[in-house]
């Protein structure tokens, strides 16, 4: 079932989770072990992220180096199918521009449609590690909106091959990313919101936000989106702080602020368990306030510490 249908049918705020494909070499069991405890909360859907390949330099026997491409986290399409099969819960694959040509994207979308998956979160992806700016693949997409248009075309039965203009229609409900604290590359929030509106006008059905630790950032963002004429559901993305290291890593990586009360409480916690306790309580408090405000879904990034998410969600439901 489509994410927006879940939202339309809901009588209360829904819950959803996001998982990363395991590193190559691990089995699907690691995903199930991660998700098993969280299934108690009856998530309406589970997102599975997508990761582009990376380049590494391998030393040859003659001492020179060879540039090779590695896929560290393959398997998004298969994991979505496994989740739907195992838990009978809808899966939302992330589809990214970075590292993929239009043809590869079309093939992935066809596989997803054949598997009965009718959701996709459409993203650009970040620049590759060795690039300072995002560069699309040859015959790939530069912005999420270009990839989104490809999905819209497929939903209309228009494939890349020019002779398939009235083919089988896919039925993807399309989500896109929004950034309450602005995307790192956007010159300002107004500009970022105008590009977000363009994605919605081009066919996005809902928005899922980047993580934030101060709910007022989300509420302000929703208000500015509404004022800009964006009227689709805006799902808040939530992540717990669970280590002191994250106080520096998260702002640097995701360009989000950590409120002073939270950073002081984390810094002064004496043990790892005390840090987790602070992070759990903060997440629970954020969730409680968002739920009381009537947000459509609480979407949790579960990476690393699913038990923290478990304890926070348990305390609010
Ligand atoms: P876009 O919408 O293309 O925007 C990128 C930047 O370009 C923004 O600054 C925007 O303001 C600007 N812009 C947009 N359109 C134009 C235009 N026409 N002209 C000029 N500027 C423009 N990354 C992954 O690799 N895999 C994942 O699974 C993944 N999941 C994510 C899930 C969520 C909920 C979020 C919030 C992010 C996720 N990301 C993921 C990270 C995301 O790919 C990066 O943040 C990326 O840098 C931007 O993606 P986007 O889809 O927002 O890009």
What pLDDT shows up at residue 223? 98
The answer to whether the beta carbons of residues 87 and 31 sit under 8 Å apart is: no
- Give 126 Cα–ligand 1 centroid separation in angstroms: 7
Q: How far apart are CA 31 and CA 22, in angstroms?
A: 7
Domain 3-314: CATH architecture, name and number where available: Alpha-Beta Barrel (3.20)
What average pLDDT does the segment 186-214 reach? 98
Beta-ladder partners of 314: none
Is the CB of 183 inside a 6 Å radius of any atom of ligand 1?
A: yes
What average pLDDT does the segment 133-156 reach? 97
Give the tokens for residue 142.
């530069």
CA-closest candidate to residue 218, choices 239, 199, 237, 244 = 237
pLDDT one-digit tens code per residue, 157-178:
999 998 899 999 999 999 999 9
Give the tokens for residue 16.
């959803």
pLDDT one-digit tens code per residue, 206-250:
999 999 999 999 999 999 999 999 999 999 999 999 999 999 999
What pLDDT shows up at residue 75? 93
Residue-by-residue DSSP string for 151-201: HHHHHTT--SSTT-SS-PPP--EEEEEE-TT--TT-SSHHHHHHHHHHHHH
- pLDDT exceeds 80 at position 293: yes
Measured from the CA of 134, which atom of ligand 1 is nearest? 47
3-state DSSP helix/strand/coil % of the chain, to nearest 5? 40, 20, 40
Is the CB of 145 inside a 6 Å radius of any atom of ligand 1?
A: yes
pLDDT band at residue 305, thresholds of 50, 70 and 90?
Answer: confident
pLDDT one-digit tens code per residue, 100-139:
999 999 999 999 999 999 999 999 999 888 788 999 999 9
- Give 275 Cα–ligand 1 centroid separation in angstroms: 31
In sequence order, what are the residues at sequence separation of 6 or more whose Cβ sits closer than 8 angstroms to the Cβ of residue 97? Answer: 105, 123, 124, 125, 136, 137, 140, 141, 142, 143, 144, 146, 147
Sign of CA dihedral 175, 120, 126, 299: positive
CA angle 76, 180, 280 (to 5 degrees): 70
Q: What is the pTM of this model?
A: 0.96
Is the CB of 47 inside a 6 Å radius of any atom of ligand 1?
A: no
Q: How far apart are CA 88 and CA 35, in angstroms?
A: 13
pLDDT band at residue 62, thresholds of 50, 70 and 90?
Answer: confident
Q: How far apart are CA 193 and CA 304, in angstroms?
A: 30
The percentage of residues in the chain with a pLDDT greater than 90, rounded to a whole number, is 88
- pLDDT exceeds 80 at position 86: yes
Reported as half-sphere exposure (CB side, CA atoms, 13 A), residue 18 has a value of 22
What pLDDT shows up at residue 6? 98
Is the CB of 40 inside a 6 Å radius of any atom of ligand 1?
A: no
Lowest mean pLDDT among 48-57, 196-205, 291-300: 48-57
pLDDT band at residue 294, thresholds of 50, 70 and 90?
Answer: very high
CA angle 260, 264, 269 (to 5 degrees): 150
Computed over every residue of the chain, the mean pLDDT equals 95
pLDDT band at residue 58, thresholds of 50, 70 and 90?
Answer: confident
**Annotated domain spans of the chain:** 3-314
- pLDDT exceeds 90 at position 66: no
Sign of CA dihedral 258, 134, 189, 201: negative
Q: How far apart are CA 214 and CA 220, in angstroms?
A: 11
In three-state secondary structure terms, 282 is: helix
Is the CB of 126 inside a 6 Å radius of any atom of ligand 1?
A: yes
What pLDDT shows up at residue 244? 97
pLDDT one-digit tens code per residue, 252-284:
999 999 999 999 999 999 999 999 999 999 999
pLDDT band at residue 64, thresholds of 50, 70 and 90?
Answer: confident
């Amino acid at each position: 079932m489509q994410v927006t249908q879940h939202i339309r049918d809901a009588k209360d705020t829904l819950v959803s989770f996001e998982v990363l494909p395991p590193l190559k070499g691990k089995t699907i069991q690691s995903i199930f072990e991660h998700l098993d405890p969280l299934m108690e909360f009856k998530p309406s859907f589970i997102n599975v992220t997508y990761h582009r390949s990376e380049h590494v330099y391998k030393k040859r026997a003659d001492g020179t180096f060879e540039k090779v491409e590695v896929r560290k986290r393959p398997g998004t399409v298969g994991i979505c199918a496994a989740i739907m099969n195992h838990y009978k819960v809808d899966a939302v694959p992330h589809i990214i521009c970075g590292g993929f040509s239009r043809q590869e994207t079309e093939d992935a979308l066809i596989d997803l449609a054949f598997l009965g998956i009718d959701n996709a979160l459409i993203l650009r992806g970040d620049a590759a590690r060795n690039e300072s700016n995002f560069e699309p693949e040859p015959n790939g997409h530069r912005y999420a909106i270009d990839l989104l248009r490809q999905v819209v075309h497929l939903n209309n039965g228009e494939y890349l091959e020019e002779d398939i203009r009235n083919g089988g229609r896919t039925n993807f409900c399309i989500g896109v990313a929004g950034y309450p604290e602005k995307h790192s590359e956007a010159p300002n929030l107004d500009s970022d919101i105008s590009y977000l509106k363009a994605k919605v006008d081009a066919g996005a059905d809902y928005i899922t936000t980047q993580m934030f630790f101060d709910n007022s950032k989300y509420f302000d963002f929703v208000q500015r989106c509404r004022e800009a004429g964006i009227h689709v559901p805006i799902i808040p993305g939530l992540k717990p702080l669970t280590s002191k290291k994250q106080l520096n890593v998260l702002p640097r990586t995701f360009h989000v602020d950590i409120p002073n009360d939270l950073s002081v409480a984390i810094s002064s916690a004496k043990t790892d368990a005390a840090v987790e306790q602070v992070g759990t309580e903060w997440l629970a408090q954020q969730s409680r306030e968002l739920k009381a405000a009537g947000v459509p879904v609480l979407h949790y990034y579960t990476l690393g510490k699913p038990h923290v998410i478990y304890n926070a969600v348990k305390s609010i439901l």
